[in-house]
């Protein structure tokens, strides 16, 4: 009987100890946060923390554009739209608020976990020959705090600058279709075609590679530019003139 | 108590454990289940089939101990992927009938066709896999563009008369456009034309309808691009009226009354630039025999004159005036008539058929566009006004083999001797009652490699009886224009035939 009592007591003690293994699970408190969520399309969806923008492809009449940076929330989705907004990090930011850019409210739509943080970029005269940079972070709002530190800074750079294409002059070159280079002419080409670079097919005996422009394609672009230049000159006085005081023409 | 704990409890525990080792003999009735057998005797060899032709497999099914009526059939088709990195095979169910009889529209390649028979009573399945090799089947023949209601399709026909080439068998492939793309060509059909340059990869077929244009591969009739993807400018109006690969190697499209051109053997660069600049509105006909510097001889219906581009990237210009010492039969710069048709005739001259804007005058103007413009391109002006039934002529063709042209009314075909007597004789009047002509084309494969002996000696005529269309293959005397009364072949099962074009392989690989 003594043995039975000993075994029984031992088992009871063991059960008591086992209760100590039960994990104490605390209740979840939602703490909405948001972080930058720009990702590449590679297999690992690697992080993107920098983007650039050029006004070159836009018509000259366009003086501002809104750049959207993708963001993602931490915490539960909400059944209502929530506000997200950026703020500048003064260190290493060269753009001036109100002159080069403005923050406006973005929205995480109801029941969504991603949205966009908008930054309004201005096409100012001083970025025609330089670029400006904005380092930005998530600004606290009534709806969100900044999220994970790995994604709490984003860099944006923009300009309205042109650089003479390397293939403008030479044996097989853009000069055959566009004539003499000037920045005014090149800006007109970009504004009309929406194209910045014109890599040329190097030989008609070799099939054009992806992205290459054949002689026929360039001839059609030249014809388009001539029509566009005529339309511009018909509606402007004086005619389009380059930085050297020469009238813009195409061969 | 001590006895119980020491002996009884361990014994009971042992019994419980040993019970798990007891074999479960069960109390079941076992029934032998039959297995359906797909008998491949005589049908198991690989199938070599031309694209768009019907694949027919009629397997014999034995089912001892079962009921064949309870079987459900499923035929699957998927590509034979030999490279493990080639991706996932797309599996299509092509039939649910026991006997397979479906057109194979897959691209050229090797495929597997799998038959799965399922007993619907117990879900028992058996399968059998067949090898199917799809090959090119449209190298030589004619393409027939025909319509029903508001859409159209293409049939492909090869006959021994038109294709006297060893190894090429007669065939009639139906509806190959819809089989290739999944839908018919929208809009009223206008033309179908081949664009083939030997020894190059240029082997394409262009199809035009009201509001649509499509380029198909000449090797397997797969869709290459369509509508605005054929134009360099995003604002292009899609209103194709005529297309031709000209003799000088330039590809020309008349679209919405305007001329668009390109020259290339690379498909990605075969895009139409903006129309040739100028004030003109073209009749929808092109001159095959255009010299390099002429670029493309076309007729400006708006101003009643022939014009041509100054260059491939130049504006539209007039032909030069004839020298004072020359008195040409007509002035290309001042025609002033309505064009009815234009075709390549004898000596590579262009035959242009006209009607006077007022009155009942009909004319055949012959022009030599196949030389540089020296002001002396007009060859002859032939008055057709007195020819029989010319006022009701709707279709015109020019023979490239002799001094004879053809014209057709609703039901009759006349041979016109323009060089000698300037008279026309009835060449064919044998269509059944109720049928009217909707299309007439002399067989002129271009290039005619392997086909030179028959080029120009066959006439294809499409007819319509109000319900269905037919295509007649007629033996034509290319020198006299006479036509044998008995057709070589008659093909049925069409809608209203809008256009017929030869399809030639040319030489070289592609």
Co-location of A148 and A181 in the same domain: no
Q: Are A59 and A160 in contact (CB under 8 A)?
A: no
Chain A partners within 8 Å of B316 (Cβ): none
Residue B274 to residue A207, Cβ atoms within 8 A: no
Residue B269 to residue A214, Cβ atoms within 8 A: yes
Residue A208 to residue B277, Cβ atoms within 8 A: no
Co-location of A176 and A248 in the same domain: yes
Co-location of A123 and A186 in the same domain: no
A-contacting residues of B 387-426, CB under 8 Å? none
Q: How confident is the model at residue A131 (pLDDT cuts 50, 70, 90)?
A: confident
Chain B partners within 8 Å of A219 (Cβ): 273, 312-313
For residues A12 and B403, which has the higher predicted lDDT (pLDDT)?
B403
Domain end, chosen from A103, A138, A159, is at: A159
Residue of chain A with shortest Cα separation from B1: A1
CA dihedral A51, A55, A59, A64 (to 10 degrees): 90
A216, containing H or E segment: helix A215-235
Residue B264 to residue A216, Cβ atoms within 8 A: yes
Co-location of A85 and A155 in the same domain: yes
The partner residue sitting opposite A216, judged by closest CB among B5, B262, B277, is B262
What is d(CA A8, CA B27) in angstroms, rounded to the nearest whole number? 45
What is d(CA B315, CA B324) in angstroms, rounded to the nearest whole number? 26
| pLDDT for the residue numbered A13 | 57
Co-location of A117 and A193 in the same domain: no
> Nearest-CA neighbor of B356 among B403, B391, B380?
B391
| Inside any domain, residue A179 | yes
B200 touches chain A (CB under 8 A): no
Long-range contacts from B55-59, C-beta under 8 angstroms, 24+ separation? B55/B100, B55/B101, B55/B102, B55/B103, B55/B104, B55/B113, B55/B132, B56/B99, B56/B100, B56/B101, B57/B99, B57/B100, B57/B113, B57/B115, B57/B130, B58/B98, B58/B99, B58/B100, B59/B98, B59/B99, B59/B115, B59/B128
Co-location of A152 and A179 in the same domain: no
DSSP B70: G
| pLDDT for the residue numbered B509 | 63
Query: A49 - beta bridge partners?
Result: none
Ordered by start, the domain boundaries in chain B are 37-135, 141-503
Beta strands (DSSP E) in B104-184 are: 109-119, 125-135, 141-148, 151-158, 171-173
A1 touches chain B (CB under 8 A): yes
Domain end, chosen from A159, A192, A218, is at: A159
| Inside any domain, residue A7 | no
Interface test with B, best of A4, A223, A228, A250 (most B CBs within 10 A): A223
Residue of chain A with shortest Cα separation from B5: A4
Co-location of A107 and A198 in the same domain: no
Domain end, chosen from A129, A159, A189, is at: A159
Co-location of A113 and A170 in the same domain: no
> Is the peptide bond between A238 and the residue preceding it cis, with omega within 30 degrees of 0?
yes
B475 touches chain A (CB under 8 A): no
Residue A207 to residue B1, Cβ atoms within 8 A: no
| pLDDT for the residue numbered B7 | 63
Q: Assign domain B37-135 to a CATH class.
A: mainly beta
| pLDDT for the residue numbered B128 | 94
| Inside any domain, residue A129 | yes
How close, in Å, is residue B269 to chain A by CA atoms?
7
Chain B partners within 8 Å of A224 (Cβ): 233, 274
| Inside any domain, residue A18 | no
CA distances for A154 relative to A121, A127, A134, B165, angstroms: 15, 20, 8, 69
Residue B5 to residue A4, Cβ atoms within 8 A: yes
Tokens 């097989």 belong to which residue? A172
Co-location of A166 and A154 in the same domain: no
**pLDDT over threshold 90, residue A2:** no
Q: The domain spanning residue A42 has which CATH number?
A: 2.60.40.1740
B277 touches chain A (CB under 8 A): yes
Chain B partners within 8 Å of A217 (Cβ): 232, 269, 271
How close, in Å, is residue B268 to chain A by CA atoms?
8
Co-location of A177 and A94 in the same domain: no
Q: Are B370 and B390 in contact (CB under 8 A)?
A: no
B249 touches chain A (CB under 8 A): no
Query: What is the ipTM score, two decimals?
Result: 0.72
Residue A223 to residue B268, Cβ atoms within 8 A: no
Q: Are B299 and B352 in contact (CB under 8 A)?
A: yes
Tokens 């498909």 belong to which residue? B267
Interface test with A, best of B6, B230, B264, B295 (most A CBs within 10 A): B264
B273 touches chain A (CB under 8 A): yes
Which structural domain range is residue A210 located in? Answer: 162-251
Co-location of A153 and A166 in the same domain: no
CA distances for A73 relative to A29, A48, A105, A147, B476, angstroms: 15, 17, 15, 8, 78
Co-location of A141 and A237 in the same domain: no
How close, in Å, is residue B309 to chain A by CA atoms?
15
CATH of B141-503, one of 2.40.160.40, 2.130.10.10, 3.10.20.30, 3.40.47.10: 2.130.10.10
| pLDDT for the residue numbered B8 | 65
Task: Please give the tally of structural domains in chain A.
Answer: 2
| Inside any domain, residue A89 | yes
Per-residue pLDDT 10s for chain B (510 aa) are 565 666 666 666 566 555 655 655 666 677 777 888 998 888 888 887 878 888 999 999 999 888 899 999 999 999 887 655 455 678 999 999 999 999 988 887 789 999 999 999 888 999 999 998 887 778 899 999 999 888 899 999 999 999 988 767 899 999 999 988 999 999 999 999 999 998 888 999 999 999 999 999 998 899 999 999 999 999 999 999 999 999 999 999 999 999 999 999 999 999 999 999 999 999 999 989 899 999 999 999 999 999 999 999 899 999 999 988 888 999 999 999 999 999 999 999 999 999 999 999 999 999 999 999 999 999 999 999 999 999 999 999 999 999 999 999 999 999 999 998 999 999 999 999 999 999 999 999 999 888 999 999 999 999 999 999 999 999 999 999 999 999 999 999 999 999 999 999 888 766
A:B CB pairs within 8 Å? 32
Q: How confident is the model at residue A19 (pLDDT cuts 50, 70, 90)?
A: low
Beta strands (DSSP E) in B238-385 are: 240-245, 251-255, 258-262, 298-300, 305-309, 316-318, 337-344, 350-356, 362-367, 378-383
| Inside any domain, residue A2 | no
A192 touches chain B (CB under 8 A): no
């Amino acid at each position: 009987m003594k043995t039975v009592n000993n075994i029984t007591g031992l088992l009871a003690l063991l059960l008591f100890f086992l209760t100590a293994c039960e994990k104490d699970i605390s209740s979840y408190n939602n703490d909405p946060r948001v972080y930058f969520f720009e990702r590449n399309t590679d297999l690992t969806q690697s992080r993107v923390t920098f983007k650039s923008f050029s006004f070159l492809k836009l018509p000259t009449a366009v003086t501002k554009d809104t750049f959207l940076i993708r963001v993602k929330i931490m915490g539960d989705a909400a059944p209502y739209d929530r506000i997200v907004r950026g703020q500048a990090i003064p260190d290493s930011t060269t753009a001036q608020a109100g002159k080069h850019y403005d923050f406006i409210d973005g929205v995480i739509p109801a029941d969504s976990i991603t949205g966009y943080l908008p930054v309004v970029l201005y096409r100012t005269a001083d970025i025609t020959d330089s670029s400006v940079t904005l380092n930005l972070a998530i600004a606290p709002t009534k709806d969100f705090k900044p999220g994970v530190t790995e994604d709490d800074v984003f860099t944006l750079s923009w300009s309205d600058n042109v650089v003479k294409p390397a293939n403008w002059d030479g044996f097989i070159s853009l000069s055959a279709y566009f004539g003499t280079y000037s920045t005014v002419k090149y800006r007109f080409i970009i504004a009309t075609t929406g194209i910045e670079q014109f890599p040329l097919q190097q030989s008609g005996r070799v099939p054009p590679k992806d992205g290459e422009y054949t002689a026929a394609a360039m001839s059609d672009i030249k014809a388009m530019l001539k029509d566009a230049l005529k339309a511009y000159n018909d509606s402007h006085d004086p005619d389009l003139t380059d930085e050297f005081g020469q009238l813009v023409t195409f061969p | 108590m001590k006895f119980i704990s020491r002996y009884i409890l361990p014994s009971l525990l042992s019994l419980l454990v040993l019970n798990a080792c007891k074999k479960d003999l069960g109390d079941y009735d076992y029934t032998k289940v039959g297995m359906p057998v797909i008998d491949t005797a005589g049908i198991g060899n690989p199938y070599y089939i031309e694209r768009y032709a019907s694949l027919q497999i009629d397997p014999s099914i034995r089912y001892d101990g079962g009921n064949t009526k309870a079987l459900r059939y499923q035929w699957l088709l998927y590509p034979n992927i030999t490279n493990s990195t080639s991706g996932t095979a797309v599996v299509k169910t092509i039939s649910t009938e026991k006997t397979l009889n479906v057109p194979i529209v897959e691209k050229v390649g090797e495929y597997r066709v799998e038959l799965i028979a399922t007993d619907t009573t117990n879900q028992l399945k058996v399968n059998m896999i067949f090898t199917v090799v799809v090959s090119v089947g449209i190298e030589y023949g004619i393409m027939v563009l025909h319509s029903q209601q508001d859409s159209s399709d293409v049939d492909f026909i090869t006959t021994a008369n038109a294709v006297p080439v060893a190894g090429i068998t007669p065939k009639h492939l139906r509806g190959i456009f819809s089989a290739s793309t999944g839908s018919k060509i929208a809009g009223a059909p206008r033309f179908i034309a081949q664009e083939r340059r030997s020894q190059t990869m240029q082997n394409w077929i262009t199809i035009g309808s009201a509001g649509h244009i499509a380029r198909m591969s000449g090797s397997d009739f797969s869709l290459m691009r369509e509508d605005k993807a054929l134009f360099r400018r995003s604002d292009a109006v899609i209103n194709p009226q005529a297309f031709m690969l000209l003799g000088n190697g330039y590809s020309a499209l008349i679209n919405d009354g305007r001329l668009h051109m390109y020259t290339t053997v690379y498909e990605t660069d075969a895009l139409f630039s903006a129309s040739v600049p100028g004030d003109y509105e073209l009749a929808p006909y092109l001159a095959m025999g255009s010299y390099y510097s002429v670029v493309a001889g076309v007729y400006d219906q708006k101003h009643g004159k022939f014009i041509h581009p100054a260059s491939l990237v130049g504006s539209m210009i007039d032909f030069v005036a004839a020298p004072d010492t020359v008195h040409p039969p007509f002035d290309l710069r001042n025609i002033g008539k309505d064009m009815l048709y234009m075709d390549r005739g004898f000596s590579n001259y262009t035959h242009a058929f006209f009607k006077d804007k007022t009155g009942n005058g009909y004319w055949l103007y012959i022009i030599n566009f196949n030389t540089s413009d020296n002001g002396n391109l007009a060859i002859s002006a032939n008055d057709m006004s007195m020819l029989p039934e010319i006022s009701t002529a709707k279709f015109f063709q020019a023979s490239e083999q002799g001094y004879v042209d053809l014209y057709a009314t609703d039901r009759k075909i006349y041979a016109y001797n323009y060089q000698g007597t300037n008279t026309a004789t009835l060449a064919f009047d044998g269509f059944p009652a109720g049928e009217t002509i909707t299309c007439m084309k002399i067989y002129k494969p271009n290039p005619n490699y392997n086909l030179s002996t028959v080029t120009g000696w066959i006439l294809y005529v499409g007819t319509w009886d109000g319900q269905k269309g037919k295509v007649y293959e007629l033996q034509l005397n290319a020198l006299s224009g006479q036509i044998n009364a008995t057709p070589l072949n008659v093909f049925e099962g069409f809608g209203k035939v809008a256009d017929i074009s030869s399809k030639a392989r040319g030489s070289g690989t592609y």
